Amino acid sequence: MKRILISKTRKLIGEKVKLAGWVSARRDHGKLIFIDLRDRSGIIQTVVIPDKEEAYEAAKKIRHEYAIEMEGSVKERPSGAANQELTVGNVELEVEKIKILSKIEEDLPVDISEKEMKLNLETLLNYRSLTLRNERINLIFKVYSELLRLYGEFMRKEGFLEIKTPKILSSATEGGANFFKIKYFDRDAYLAQSPQFYKQAGVGIFERVFEVGTVFRAEPHFTTRHVNEYVSLDAEMGFIDSFEDIMNQLEKTVSFMFGSIKENCAKELENYGAEISGFKTIPRIKLTEALSVLENKFGKKTEKIDIDPEGERMICEWAKKEYNSDLIFLTHYPSNIRPFYTMPSADPQYTESFDLLFRGVEIATGGQRIHDLSQLKENMKKHKFNPEDFKSYLDIFRYGMPPHGGWGLGSERMLQKILGLKSIKEAVLFPRDVKRLAP
Ligand code: AMO
């Protein structure tokens, strides 16, 4: 007999089937043994009765998380028993045969059968290969898979070509000190902090490109929104009139993703008590205006023209009240806190750049880039970089580079904030932070 998925049993009442999966729970009720079997499609309750001697003897030995195979007939379940949220519900399996495929090596260090595991983050991450099996945690990554798919789908529809760029680089891309230096044979190299240089090269070739790729940040901060390796949803587009074009494109993209997640992941969102509202436009205000709001409405003064995490939380709170929006664009960041490739505004103290904030956290950064070679070299010098060290990057601008710009969108931050997870680390399968390099 060929194995079928648990979700298919619903329509097979009275039929004999073979199922395979993991043991979510085993309950002994008098002479009966109930085993909840879980596969990728759902969970089904199974019953083993003493009459089926061989199966019964096997069932007695079975423990949580064994991988097993079962054969039996599908029965309708008494009504009222069908309401367990994540189970197939209206059917159960009367077991005739059991085959143990793989046992557990030792007692389970954590109980993953509870619906809502009350583990601290450390434990949750230490036993990751096990805790990820928990039904509710599983859902996070189903939403993530959909989020990644939707990004690709929409970008392609909008004429962006998907590219993959190198992650081992000869120079750091984003300035600052948060890069990892590695040994590359007899030279030094850097792990990519972003696909910045190569996606710009992509514009010179294909006009519009996007990338879903892993990037690395030697961020020493141990926070709820930083990891040291994350997946960036990047885009870069040519022949723009201004950086407004980029915000418009990002706005359309996020609007499409939110709308589709709302529809396609209703069950998952409900489980997390998460709601996302559809929108057409996202309010846009200058960073300096945001700082005035902070001062006037929240009594928060800042010395430099910059916004800290607390300010980002406050401005999102304000955007919710003022515009009923979970998202807000802050624009025109000062040039001294933006990378050298950022296009200066008419007033060169500022730049044609933005951050997109969502529910209190920055989820994307973007802007227009300098596309004129000599202007770029000058700006590098202003930022204390030597153009000689960026020769191959500068080559991009030698042969007809159009006005362009793009964004980097942190996929895990987006997922974290959609589901309302406390830490970004819950939104990463196997997160890397200052203290964690395994599992
Ligand atoms: P930036 O450095 O702001 O911009 O990064 C873009 C987005 O990436 C996410 N992000 C992170 N997520 C998790 N952990 C981190 N340590 C981390 N650091 C950043 C955030 C952030 O908004 N090249 C530019 C983008 C561009 O202009 O196209 C860049 O990398 O969501």
CATH, range 6-102: 2.40.50.140
Euclidean distance between CA atoms 363 and 147, whole angstroms = 14
CATH, range 135-427: 3.30.930.10
pLDDT one-digit tens code per residue, 169-186:
998 877 778 999 999 999
The per-residue pLDDT for 85 is: 47
Closest approach atom of ligand 1 to CA 414: 31
pLDDT in tens, the chain (439 residues): 999 999 999 999 999 999 999 999 999 999 999 999 999 999 999 999 999 999 999 999 999 999 999 999 999 987 655 444 445 578 999 999 999 999 999 999 999 988 889 999 999 999 999 999 999 999 999 999 999 999 999 999 999 999 999 999 998 877 778 999 999 999 999 999 999 999 999 999 999 999 999 999 999 989 999 999 999 999 999 999 999 999 999 999 999 999 999 999 999 999 999 999 999 999 999 999 999 999 999 999 999 999 999 999 999 999 999 999 999 999 999 999 999 999 999 999 999 999 999 999 999 999 999 999 999 999 999 999 999 989 999 999 999 999 999 999 999 999 999 999 999 999 999 999 999 999 9
pLDDT one-digit tens code per residue, 361-410:
999 999 999 999 999 999 999 999 999 989 999 999 999 999 999 999 99
Return the domain boundaries, the chain. Answer: 6-102, 135-427
If one residue of 368, 413, 416 were mutated to test the ligand 1 pocket, choosing by the most ligand atoms within 8 A of its CB, it would be: 413
Ligand 1 centroid–CA 78 distance in Å is 53
Closest approach atom of ligand 1 to CA 405: 28
Shortest-distance Cα residue to atom 17 of ligand 1: 226
Shortest-distance Cα residue to atom 4 of ligand 1: 365
The per-residue pLDDT for 80 is: 54
Shortest-distance Cα residue to atom 3 of ligand 1: 365
pLDDT one-digit tens code per residue, 323-357:
999 999 999 999 999 999 999 999 999 999 999 99
If one residue of 144, 246, 365 were mutated to test the ligand 1 pocket, choosing by the most ligand atoms within 8 A of its CB, it would be: 365
If one residue of 230, 330, 436 were mutated to test the ligand 1 pocket, choosing by the most ligand atoms within 8 A of its CB, it would be: 230
pTM for the full predicted model: 0.96
Shortest-distance Cα residue to atom 6 of ligand 1: 408
If one residue of 179, 232, 330, 331 were mutated to test the ligand 1 pocket, choosing by the most ligand atoms within 8 A of its CB, it would be: 232
Shortest-distance Cα residue to atom 21 of ligand 1: 364
What lines the ligand 1 site, CB under 6 Å?
174, 194, 196, 217, 219, 226-227, 230, 232, 362-367, 406-408, 410, 412-413, 424
Shortest-distance Cα residue to atom 14 of ligand 1: 226
Ligand 1 centroid–CA 408 distance in Å is 6
